[in-house]
Amino acid sequence: MRPELHQDWIDPKAAEIVDRLQKRKFEAYLVGGCVRDLLVNEHPKDYDIATSARPEEVRKIIPNSFLIGRRFKLILVRRGLAQYEVSTFRRSRSAEDDAIETEIINEDNFFGTAEEDAVRRDFTVNALFYDPINKKMLDYCNGLADIENRTIRIIGDPIIRLNEDPIRILRGIRLAHKLNFNLEGQLRSTIQTDGACLKNAILPRKREEFLKILRLKDPGLTFLEMFDLKILQYCLPSLNDLFLNQEAQTIFLSTLADLKKLVLKDSDPANLFLIFLYSYIKAAFGTDDIKSQDLEDNILLNRLMKDELGVFKQEAIHFFKTLSFMSSLTNIDTFNRKGERRKQGFLSNPYLDTANELCLYEHLYRYSDYWFWKKQIQSVNG
């Protein structure tokens, strides 16, 4: 059954940008993840637009737009708190381009057609163009068929495309879990045989993919499939070593699933890394008498945080401060003996709420103690 697109879900501000460009006789479409999500009954979080207009032309046509990017020039359009990226159709560098003397050496600077732009994208489900004004779909890579068959298929030769950009391995697995799709057979086997190329991926890009995985409903299943595909060893070797122990693997996965439901309040990176790291230390070291200082000096944990996850210094502080704050909540009598000013300072601590959730999860005190702190927090926050 052919997937149907939810026209009524489309952001009117994104459609207005498309309309402005089309009225100036340029091609313009919604593209990528927003089109895919509209076809799989997901409300898009972001709207990207692709057009035949050059970046400077877009900037002149669309109010409140700004040229951004050093390698990949595109336009950022601001509408209140919302932002929309507008990119010009690109094409791959050709033999003719190589024969011409030019200072432009980055293929992202070569403008092309919508079809040329589509075949440069990563997966077929991300290569769909939709015209919200004329209600027209452009499908150059059979993305609609793959959405219908719930398949993640890479565009082109998987060996070439994955080695060209190893992050596509993480992105493909994440998309499969986000959409409840299957990896296409050849893509799956190439990930297994060529997964070592992930060692060449730079840490900031891996960090962003890990955060996106942690935003999934059940990120543990994604990490487990990465382990089964034998690629976890190339991007998160510390977690891979942990998963070799069946008992530790079970503790990590169950803790991560629980904390996603019980503790996580938002998708802020500091909180996402907190639940991952807490799950890791519980599985690797246990939670009896956790001492923050001991963990801060732990070589294995530091390697995981800095070299594998790319955790920022402030995010690490957030994690360790939350752990150390947990012990402060286990003695209400000590709190009650404080003066009002010290009580207010204690209750204003940004780590209190999450530490309270973790204490309850670990059964460090009674349910009534948990609600004591909840009520105290609510009194301060009004």
What is the per-residue pLDDT for 98?
Answer: 47
Distance CA 323, CA 329 (A): 11
Q: How confident is the model at residue 104 (pLDDT cuts 50, 70, 90)?
A: very low
Which of 140-144, 196-200, 287-291, 324-328 comes out lowest in average pLDDT? 287-291
Q: Is residue 214 part of a domain?
A: no
What is the per-residue pLDDT for 381?
Answer: 74
Distance CA 298, CA 287 (A): 15
**Residue 102 domain boundaries:** 7-149
Distance CA 294, CA 297 (A): 5
End residue of a domain, out of 149, 175, 193: 149
End residue of a domain, out of 149, 184, 206: 149
Which of 10-19, 37-46, 96-105, 242-251 comes out lowest in average pLDDT? 96-105
Q: Is residue 118 part of a domain?
A: yes
Q: Is residue 167 part of a domain?
A: no
Distance CA 358, CA 369 (A): 13
Residues designated catalytic? 46, 48, 122
Q: Is residue 51 part of a domain?
A: yes
**Average pLDDT over every residue of 139-159:** 97
Q: Is residue 257 part of a domain?
A: no
State how many domains the chain has.
2
Q: What's this model's pTM, rounded to 2 decimal places? A: 0.90
**Average pLDDT over every residue of 161-169:** 97
Q: Is residue 371 part of a domain?
A: yes
Which of 25-29, 156-160, 265-269 comes out lowest in average pLDDT? 265-269
Q: Is residue 74 part of a domain?
A: yes
Strands (E), the chain: 28-31, 48-51, 65-68, 74-79, 82-88, 128-131, 136-139, 151-152, 182-183
Q: Is residue 162 part of a domain?
A: no
Place of tokens 């601001």: 78
End residue of a domain, out of 134, 149, 164: 149
Q: What is the pLDDT of residues 44-82, one digit of tens each?
A: 999 999 999 999 999 999 999 999 987 788 999 999 999
Is the same domain home to 275 and 141? Answer: no
What is the per-residue pLDDT for 26?
Answer: 98
**Average pLDDT over every residue of 106-115:** 78
- Whether the Cβ atoms of residue 24 and residue 53 lie closer than 8 Å to each other: yes
Distance CA 20, CA 40 (A): 27
Is the same domain home to 14 and 145? Answer: yes
**Average pLDDT over every residue of 289-309:** 85
Which residues are registered as beta bridge partners of 48?
31, 85
- Whether the Cβ atoms of residue 265 and residue 350 lie closer than 8 Å to each other: no
Going by C-alpha positions, the residue among 156, 158, 148, 210 that lies closest to residue 182 is: 148
Q: How confident is the model at residue 261 (pLDDT cuts 50, 70, 90)?
A: confident
Is the same domain home to 17 and 145? Answer: yes
φ and ψ at residue 137, rounded to 5 degrees: -105, 135
Which residues are registered as beta bridge partners of 151?
182
Would the pLDDT of 94 be above 80?
no
Give the CATH number, domain containing residue 75: 3.30.460.10
The distance in angstroms from the start CA to the end CA of the chain is: 52
